[in-house]
Structure 1
């Protein structure tokens, strides 16, 4: 089957052709930041603008990205606007920490995310994904919100791998609170754009305070419960991420809490959105979906170690990666220049804002053939060499590249394979989903999709649980 036939044009805001003006810019940026971009942003390697009297340099060129975020990364610190939006909720988590705190936190967390530890968690990812697929199979013929359901699935995986299910609270209660939390956490307040004094209340943060406090109470209680178990019966403590974090050197209890909140808010949410968008895009690309289904059927006839699925399912992985190109988990990387710099023919003054926008780079006309279309074959092994390292940035780049990228890729491919082995998802919305940037790129109004069984037997096989290799061993 020719998967190149009529590739699907993924829904996205239409770039504007005229300046938005000050009021239009502030309103658009606070409502949906990816709508601020005009057509030039998708055609030129560098742009310069003055936003609120601050020079702003947009870098789309891969060589410029490499220079700024890798070779000269020390010259670029986190942009104040980004910190004003995220830091009140994430505090000293890895995503918002800076300077020596960031270095110390990164060093402390690096041993937690080793390939050996990630591989040890893949059986739990498989078990949770297969159990979730069984639950959806019982709802065959129903219309479900796949965006919300993927939040439930990734929360289940998070519970199993981070906490070994040793956490209070119901999954649906958590997922609803997560939606409220993220809706506020990633939303830019007009007062933040205008750099208004910190003492002026931000409505979004006031509304989101209750869900934030809920998460912190939940995490603090879970941490204390585990810490007590480690003190009294260390041999009984699950060897999961929480235990590794509590045993890590160099992190205070409050810093561990901040990083768990960051893992939940950034890691869990980004994978959920990537899964939802992938299932939607495949539903609009029947030829691609059939190829993925055929690969899953062939490879999972003998499933083997789920840690190997990332290599054994290249077409499934390619569909996920193409979805993350079109709807990047982190749509913006914002920095401020400490000293003057130059990229290409563009001067970057000290104090200027530097924007590397995966939303732009991933859809840039100079970098991609048919950039707005869903074409997973771009990411098949034989085509990967044509993609510059710095034109595809789903997990960022440079020293601050996402520490959990390997975890997320294993989780995404395992979840997709378990869902698509026996189920099919068809989009039934009256209109195409519309992407909105919050902390991630989310579908406004969700993803209404009809779930149905692919297999005639009507029931998924029971998952045969096998013991996982303890984290830190094997």
Structure 2
């Protein structure tokens, strides 16, 4: 367990665990509206629970040993869950998040070189430049500052960073409203439909997603135009073609690499989901820090000190442990991917180190939920409180590898974890060095599970200049 120092800590909004099991009708309504509101007290207190949903056995897992067994030691027996794929594959098709088998292996191998820690650190300067340019939007002479929907702003900022680092700025939406398009896509496409719960065939149209297909077609059109333009540049010996993520994927297009459709799917995955996860975590971080003056003061002092020394941005992630800890604590409380869904391919038996065993039958849905795992009484002290000190260097070793899963684990661990952490530290440092973010009377976010953990109703916050001169 991670220690808490006894200070009063801010407890950000979250559903209170149910004490009475929901009826079948309540389950359907809650899953369709907001699955985070479904889970009862046992999900936050017991290592695992077996239950029945719609005639099928579901195993809810919060035991680190069992999580390791499912995601690492016997991962081949636990492919993607059917319902998860019914939700995500219509959007991402054979992108890295949804591909399986040989397609996933080829895609993962192709993209791995771009996201090694060493390569990811090479993006630090571009992350800094985009963050500084974005921060200029908050500049104002009004002492009351500006009121902005931070959830929208962070979506746009992380998109700009992703577009510059991975695509050299060549992916641009026709209307420029990336944040709105992503929100529309996830609102209409990233939620469970009642036909998914009933495991209806994929060819049966999901009426709840019909409006999302227009946005999806728009995204795919942008991606195809970008791919075509880059292909043309790659065949022009006079062109100065950037060696970025887009070029790398097109370099391996062909029978031995990825098909054109698979490349399109992976680009869409990073546009639609890759930056969305970081954006949500940044938004929640700024919100929690606004309620935690002591945490904010420590972060500001750390940021001011490092920037005053003129440290290269590639060093910030190591030299700003308080900034990183605040972001990681927000990832704990509001994991961008609140559930990891698997399904047992064959019968399996798990034996814990204490001798306790569990038989898992073929076809069992296995839910590993960072949402409940990160708030679990067996693993965290004061689990509902925002306490970044858990993640400071002197405390990190107390956190087990499989009790904290913001980026998953095993073969399908998030390929962009290092990229996201570095991006978050740089963005937070730039924004907090120049501005303070505070809540307003309208700031009443509620966590809602769509494709990510989003602040329902938006996240309006007041942004005021700090009055600290920017180091030259």
What TM-score comes out, normalization by structure 2 length?
0.94
- Aligned partners of 2:163 and 2:410: how far apart in 1? 29
- Alpha-carbon RMSD: 1.7
Q: Which residue of 2 aligns with 1:158?
A: 162
| SS, match of residue 77 in structure 1 | coil
Aligned partner (choices 10, 21, 24) of residue 22 of structure 1: 24
Q: Show CA shifts across 1:380-404 (max 9, x none).
A: 0110100000000000000000111
Structure 1 residue 244 displacement after superposition: 1.8
Aligned positions of 1:52-63 closer than 5 A: 52-63=54-65
Equivalent residue, structure 2, for 1:288: 295
Q: CA deviation at 1:196?
A: 2.2
Query: Which of 222, 239, 250 matches 2:226?
Result: 222
Q: 1:410 aligns with which of 422, 436, 440?
A: 422
Which residue of the other structure, out of 262, 266, 273, is the alignment partner of 2:273?
Answer: 266
- The reply to whether residue 366 of structure 1 matches residue 382 of structure 2 is no
Please state whether the residue corresponding to 2:177 is helix, strand or coil: helix
Q: Tell me, in whole angstroms, the C-alpha distance in 1 between the residues paired with 2:132 and 2:70.
A: 42
Q: Which runs of 4+ in 1 moved over 6 A?
A: none
1:298-337 equivalent positions in 2, closer than 5 A: 298-337=305-344
CA positional deviation for 1:168? 3.4
Contact 1:128 1:156 in 2 (8 A): yes
Residue 248 of structure 2: which of 232, 244, 250 is its match? 244
Contact 1:112 1:245 in 2 (8 A): no
438, 443, 450: which one pairs with 2:462? 450
Matched residue, 1:472: none
Alignment correspondent of 2:437:
425
8 Å contact 2:140–2:465 — kept in the other structure?
Answer: no
Deviation, structure 1 residue 231:
0.7
For normalisation by structure 1, the TM-score amounts to 0.94
Q: Confirm or deny that 1:31 pairs with 2:43.
A: no
> 2: distance between equivalents of 1:79 and 1:156?
32
Per-residue CA deviation, residues 283-329 of structure 1 (Å, 9 max, x unaligned), is: 01011011001100001113332121110111100000000000001
Counterpart residue number, 2:398: 386
* Contact 2:223–2:264 under 8 Å retained in 1: yes
Q: Secondary structure at the match of 1:238?
A: coil
Number of aligned residue pairs: 459
Q: Deviations over 1:53-78 (max 9, x none)?
A: 11111110101111111001111010
What is the SS of the residue equivalent to 1:421? helix
Please identify, of 438-447 and 155-164, the stretch whose mean Cα deviation from structure 2 is larger.
Answer: 155-164
| CA positional deviation for 1:338 | 1.0
1:186 lines up with 2:187 in the alignment: no
Q: Give distance in 2, aligned partners of 1:338 and 1:181.
A: 31
